[in-house]
């Protein structure tokens, strides 16, 4: 009798996998999959927005570089002409 009790306790304590699937498991898995798709979709949208902003910023930087080159050219002209006038 005591051996049967020990055997039953040992069998109950062992880890096992049942052959049934509960509706809760299916529902939880479906919610996790939908959440992952939603997250990835939102992430793609955010990346697209950042790329668009980066492209606009690149245009602005190019315009500023052009303006700086023009200012440098004008300063060289003024400096060169100013030196001619003084002499």
Q: How far apart are CA 43 and CA 63, in angstroms?
A: 31
Q: Does 29 have pLDDT greater than 90?
A: yes
CB atoms within 10 A of CB 8: 10
**What's the pLDDT at 87?**
41
Q: How far apart are CA 32 and CA 77, in angstroms?
A: 67
Q: How far apart are CA 60 and CA 52, in angstroms?
A: 13
pTM, two decimal places = 0.44
Express each pLDDT in 35-70 by its tens digit.
999 999 999 889 989 888 888 888 999 999 999 999
Please list the alpha-helical segments (H only) found in the chain.
2-13, 23-86
**What's the pLDDT at 86?**
46
Q: How far apart are CA 35 and CA 28, in angstroms?
A: 10
């Amino acid at each position: 009798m005591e051996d049967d009790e020990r055997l039953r306790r040992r069998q109950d304590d062992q880890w096992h996998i049942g052959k049934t699937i509960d509706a809760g498991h299916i529902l939880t898995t479906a919610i996790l999959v939908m959440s992952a798709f939603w997250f990835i979709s939102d992430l793609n949208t955010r990346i697209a927005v950042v790329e668009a902003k980066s492209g606009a910023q690149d245009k602005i930087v190019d315009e500023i570089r052009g303006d700086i080159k023009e200012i440098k050219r004008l300063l060289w002209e003024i400096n060169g002409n100013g030196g001619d006038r003084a002499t």
